[in-house]
Amino acid sequence: MNPSRTNRNRMHGARAVGQAILSPAFCFLMTACLASAQKIEFAQVTSKPVTRSVDLPGEFEPFLNVTLHARVPGYVERVAVDRGSAVKQGDVVVELSAPEMASRIAEAQARIQAADADRLQAEAQLAGTQSTFEKLKKAAETKGAIAGNELVQVQQQIDTEQALIQSRRRLSEAATANLRALQEMQGYLRVVAPFDGMITDRMIHPGALVGPGLDAPLLVLQQLSKLRLVVAVPEEDSGAVPQGAKLTFHVPAFPERAFSGVVARSSHTLDTKTRTLTVELDVANIDGSLAPGMFPTVGWPVGRPGPALLVPATSVVTTTERTFVIRNQGGKAEWVNVKKGAAQGDLVEVTGQIKAGDSVIRVASDEMRDGSALPAK
């Protein structure tokens, strides 16, 4: 027997077997055999409302914040507080001196006295003229006792003196109003706290000239017993701001302690640069543990407008080209592209061309080819 011919026959036989193995029919047959050899479990796509939370950074701001300025020009006489001083509403924090204010008040008082004296003199003169008028009027009853126009002249004099009295009265009222304004301005020499809070910064010392136009702030007062927690919520998480919800947050200064605040207000508009929605929480800071400028981490609830679709995490197959689940479509495997969401225990959120109640392979892999036969449930 010819050895070379025998070797050629063997090579032809091996090539024929390889072609048979690589044929589509053979692959389909092998997949079916694997499916029948392995016990395939199915799971249903479930639908339920899902709520989760994401950690968002925030920043504390004082609930009330004001920089105190002097309303009237003057020199700083005394500073009653310093950085860190707690004050109550109405407490005097800075006293100013303005010697010219006292002289202006004295001048206004003198003007009031002069105006009152002129008015009293005019009223006395009017009283005398009215008395003369009454006498002339009585004498006029006797024919020929007085001239005919004498009574008319006295009446005109009375009208003139009454107008003078009204003028003196208006001058007195104007002088009184001017004095009241000066006294109010003098009151502004005592700078008081507009609300309860703490002095967080001091910028002046005794002897400094302050007042309007000098751009010299005195103190910074902040309310720290209540704080604003400002959170920038990303656009994808801003669908439903939980107004009035109580949220939990942590701060690096007290990592073992959980704090809480109430969602109070929202800007209702997104920042065009960061694409975030500004939301404020009201936080009670009774013990003073928190401070403006801290950066807490807030557990922000994220909910969907509708229920989420959930499948076992093992049902989702991820390759370099796609992410999919294998659905049982009339006894055949169907690859359905999906997008994974957040995990919920052993389940995972998915979105795609599937619906609640669909049957998918519980433990799937890309070895189960699309269109291959599946065993009966």
| Residue 38 pLDDT | 56
pLDDT tens, N- to C-terminus, the chain (377 residues): 444 444 444 444 444 444 444 455 444 444 444 444 457 889 999 998 777 788 999 999 999 999 999 998 899 999 999 999 999 999 999 999 988 887 788 888 888 888 888 788 877 887 887 777 777 767 666 666 666 677 677 778 878 888 888 888 888 888 888 888 888 888 889 999 999 999 999 999 999 999 888 878 999 999 999 999 999 999 888 877 788 989 999 999 999 999 999 999 999 999 999 999 999 999 999 999 999 999 999 999 886 667 889 999 999 999 999 999 999 998 899 999 999 988 888 999 999 999 999 999 999 998 889 998 887 76
The burial class, CB within 10 Å (0-12 / 13-18 / 19+), for 367 is exposed
For 299, phi then psi, to 5°, come to -80, 100
Nearest to 253 by CA among 282, 217, 289: 289
| Residue 14 pLDDT | 44
| Residue 18 pLDDT | 44
If you search the block for the tokens 């000098």, which residue do you land on? 214
Triad 208, 210, 211: Cα angle to 5° = 170
284 contacts 276 by C-beta, under 8 angstroms: no
| Residue 253 pLDDT | 94
CA distances from 193 to 91, 208, 269, 277, 346 (A): 5, 20, 34, 34, 58
Strand order of the sheet with strand 74-79?
190-192, 92-97, 74-79, 209-210
Nearest to 285 by CA among 254, 243, 245: 254
Residue 145 DSSP code: S
44 contacts 359 by C-beta, under 8 angstroms: yes
CA distance 31 to 132: 135
If you search the block for the tokens 């919800």, which residue do you land on? 245
The structure's pTM equals 0.61
Strands (E), 98-238: 190-192, 197-202, 209-210, 219-234
82 contacts 199 by C-beta, under 8 angstroms: yes
CA distance 362 to 360: 6
296 contacts 250 by C-beta, under 8 angstroms: yes
| Residue 101 pLDDT | 81
Task: Residue 279: count other Cβ atoms within 10 Å of its Cβ.
Answer: 25
Q: Which H or E run contains 126?
A: helix 99-139
| Residue 22 pLDDT | 45
For 239, phi then psi, to 5°, come to -60, -35
The DSSP secondary structure of 327-360, one letter per residue, reads: EEETTEEEEEEEEEEEEETTEEEEEES--TT-EE
Strands (E), the chain: 42-44, 46-48, 51-68, 74-79, 86-87, 92-97, 190-192, 197-202, 209-210, 219-234, 246-251, 254-270, 276-284, 297-303, 308-312, 317-318, 323-329, 332-344, 347-352, 359-361
| Residue 175 pLDDT | 84
